[in-house]
Amino acid sequence: MVVPELLQQIAFIKEIDKLKYIQRKTKLFNRDRNENDAEHSWHLAVMAIVLAQHANETVDILKVVKMLLIHDIVEIDAGDTFIYDTQKNHTNTEEERLAANRIFGLLPPEQKEELIQIWEEFEACETAEAKFAKAMDRLEPLLQNSSNNGGTWNEPGVNYEKVYEKKSVIKNGSTTIWEYAEKLINEGVEKGILKK
């Protein structure tokens, strides 16, 4: 007999496959194809493992990886909001809260609560783990845009000030990585791929 918890977990696993179809504005490194949310989450998780030694504080890397693997699952329902969108705020929205409750609600109650708590911790960005996870989330598109002649930096309304503001949260998770990121932003201006 199949236990009910397994059926719930399988339903969740099938549901999150939809993350592979959520397209992001950023493109893969040196490519024309847009990245999807699943690729983004996987890449961030590996980045966190590789770069953990540069975190400002010692972090529970398993918790960081969990955050990065689940942080965008809500976009299955809420969609991906472009970080520089002028119409819709890129912060936690009621749409995302409803999505978190529905999607994580497919799991058994204990797992649902754990993943919602981890998702909320990432969104609040107050713990060392959340700050480092957020640093990874902001670093990856910066690396992509640098490799793609500006990429989304060429979108209307995106300029140095906006990029600098959005990316500066990297320093909360890693001052070392922020020094590198700040250098990339400034190089973008020098190369003419980011408007001042």
The answer to whether residue 150 is domain-embedded is yes
Q: Is 138 exposed, middle or buried (0-12, 13-18, 19+ CB in 10 A)?
A: buried
| CATH number of the structural domain spanning residue 177 | 1.10.3210.10
| pLDDT for the residue 87 | 64
Q: Is 77 exposed, middle or buried (0-12, 13-18, 19+ CB in 10 A)?
A: middle
The answer to whether residue 196 is domain-embedded is no
- Tally of structural domains, the chain: 1
Summarize pLDDT for 31-78 with one digit per residue, the tens: 889 999 999 999 999 999 999 999 999 999 999 999 999 999 999 999
Q: What percent of the chain has pLDDT over 70?
A: 96
Owning domain of residue 108: 4-191
CA 114/CA 12 separation, integer angstroms: 14
User: Structure pTM?
Assistant: 0.94
